[in-house]
Amino acid sequence: MSNLFRFIPISQLADKFPEGSWWARFYQDFSDEQLAAYYEGDLTLPSLDLDWEQPFPQQKEVIIIFIDGNLTVDNLYNNETDGAIGLMVIGNMSVKNIAVGGQEIYVSGNLLIEEIVCGSYNHGEMIVKGDLSAAVLVQDDEYSIKVDGHKSIVCLVNVWEGDGVFQELPVGIHEVLIDDLFLDMEEEDAEFSFCTLVTVIKEGRSALKKITESPTKKEAIPLYFTHNTINEENILKLTQCILMPNNKPSFDFQEQGVFFKVQLEHIDADGDKRDLSVYMNDNRNHYYIWVEQDHSVGLLSRTIDEGSDWEDITESQEQLAEISDCWTMLLTCANMAELYLRNIEVQYVQDILQNSVIQELYSEEEENEGFWDGSKCYSFRQTHTDEDGDLLYGRIEIKTPDGAYYFYSVENGTYVSRHYQPPDQYGKEDLSYLNLRRWEASERYFTRFKQFLSQMIEAGVNS
């Protein structure tokens, strides 16, 4: 491989080191005897070992490899994480596996990893100025990976805590990585071995198990709505579903840009009679469906243009097809609500917030960090009025290993409301009823929380 490179003093690359990189700041600290292996253009290699002296045994003074172009390599690794050869790629890098530590790896473009990226120990970091994409990030709390662009990780696992996230669902590290990577598999707390990971990669083997986790529930559960006919039966079922509050005659929500409102027959505050009805509004039309005294159903539509008139579409096959899409979405959302929202009772969450163990957590310090369960964090908020006079409802917050949040709040007397906050963002959002994986994730995280909290409460009682 050495004939592909020019070996030059590090100082000769001073103008090429990107601003902000470690080498741009400290290149002058090295003598002319300490070399860079410089390659100009795009380079493809079967593997690259960054341990000292390994790539260039005849040029043992090489301490950084500089690729002035794109780099494609099957496997990139080093065993010794207390210090290793640096790598700088002025372009994009494509790799099958990365297991490194002890140096700066700098990619000025995008980094694409087919399988695993693993950084070990605290003597190194990876900097990606573009996007990073990987199947699995094996995370060491001490190793830094900085990404300026978009980060797309299918699965994240933490070697210290043993847990992680696979496509938003909680997962254990042993479900992701092959057993060979763990020392003393007979022991309950078998430790992950970075050196074994490097060996497996060197041998050309995959360190991954096949994950076939499904977001769907394992048990067969009958659907709330079994057909999507627009009739009185289904409208009545909508008014009787879990989304209908006890103290109001209607509920509403938005899904994929469509606004829905389901309303019971009632007399409003102005004394006007309101129909048993469903209102829907997409980016083109308003739709109104109501039940007549003879139990038949009427359908009206008008465009979103100001001043447009309502039109009876009960007999219009073309417009019935348009309203049918929104109607089917509404029933699907109600099915999801029935499937998941009944699984967490309002009283259960209220009791947790009033539990003495949780109360004690708040009495000990004003800014508490909650309870840590592996790399998941559980924290709590009591119902109170803030300094601006706004009522803040009590809730349970679960921070997941990838930095996302799931919120479970008691703002509704009928069910526990659920919200989501994406990683690296601020501000909660409604869970999309059509995002099955996210609803299932919220369910599984809460199940793990209940198991953890029961142990905490028992320990608190017995201590």
10 and 126 part of one domain: yes
Radius of gyration of the chain (CA): 29
Same domain as 426, residue 366: yes
Assigned domain for 134 exists: yes
| Banded pLDDT at 455 (limits 50, 70, 90) | confident
> In degrees, to the nearest 5, what angle opens at C-alpha 171 toward C-alphas 165 and 172?
120
Residue 196 corresponds to which tokens in the numbers above? 């074994």
Return the H-helix or E-strand segment holding 45.
strand 43-49
Q: Over 70: is that where the pLDDT of 191 sits?
A: yes
Would you state the structure tokens that stand for residue 337, as one six-digit string? 């609500």
Same domain, 52 and 165: yes
Whole-number pLDDT of residue 218:
59
Give the domain extent around 157.
2-202
Is 370 within 8 Å of 397 (Cβ atoms)?
Answer: yes
Residue 358 and residue 326 in one domain: no
Residue 321 φ/ψ, nearest 5 degrees: -65, -40
pLDDT tens for 118-150 read: 999 888 899 999 999 999 999 987 899 999 999
In a domain, 224, yes or no: no
> What is the rounded distance in angstroms from the CA atom of residue 382 to the CA atom of residue 393?
7
State which amino acid sits at residue 69: G
pLDDT score, position 387: 86
How many independent structural domains does the chain possess?
Answer: 3
Whether 214 maps to a domain, the answer reads no
Shared domain for 362 and 301, answered yes or no, is no
Quick check: 90 and 110 in contact, CB under 8 A? no
**C-alpha pair distances (Å), 285 with each of 280, 309, 322, 331:** 8, 11, 9, 19
At 163-174, the pLDDT tens digits run 999 999 999 999
Mean pLDDT of the chain: 91
Looking at the structure, tell me whether residues 330 and 399 fall in a common domain.
Answer: no
Looking at the fold, whether 116 and 240 belong to one and the same domain comes out as no
Residue pLDDT, tens place only, 354-410: 988 787 766 555 555 788 998 999 999 988 888 888 898 999 999 999 999 999 999
> Is the pLDDT assigned to residue 319 strictly greater than 90?
no
- Listed residues 149, 183, 202: the one ending a domain: 202
Distance, CA of 67 to CA of 382 (rounded, Å): 55
Q: What percent of the chain has pLDDT over 70?
A: 93
* Domain end call among 335, 354, 378: 335
Is residue 326 pLDDT above 90, yes or no? yes
Same domain membership, residue 119 and residue 17: yes
The answer to the question of residue 213 being in a domain is no
What does the block give as tokens for 104?
């700066």
- How far apart are alpha carbons 250 and 269 in whole angstroms? 13
Predicted confidence at residue 1, as pLDDT, reads 63
Q: How far apart are CA 184 and CA 193, in angstroms?
A: 10
Q: Which of 162, 180, 202 is the last residue of a domain?
A: 202
pTM, 2 dp: 0.85
> For residue 378, which of 356, 354, 353 has the smallest C-alpha distance?
353
Q: Which helix (H) or strand (E) holds 322?
A: helix 317-340
Write down the pLDDT at residue 367. Answer: 55
Length reported for the chain: 463
**Is 136 inside any structural domain?**
yes
Max CA distance (Å), the chain: 95
The span from the CA of 226 to the CA of 243, in Å, is 18
Give the residue with greater pLDDT, 42 vs 388.
42
In this predicted structure, the answer to whether residue 463 has a pLDDT above a threshold of 60 is: no
Could you report the per-residue pLDDT of 85-96, keeping only the tens digit for each?
Answer: 999 999 999 999
In a domain, 426, yes or no: yes
One domain for residues 406 and 260: no
Please indicate, yes or no, whether residues 57 and 141 belong to a single structural domain of this protein.
Answer: yes
- pLDDT tens profile 248-305: 999 999 999 999 999 999 998 888 899 999 999 999 999 999 999 899 999 999 999 9
pLDDT (tens digit per residue) in 227-256: 999 999 999 999 999 999 988 999 999 999
β pairing state of 285-291 and 182-183: unpaired
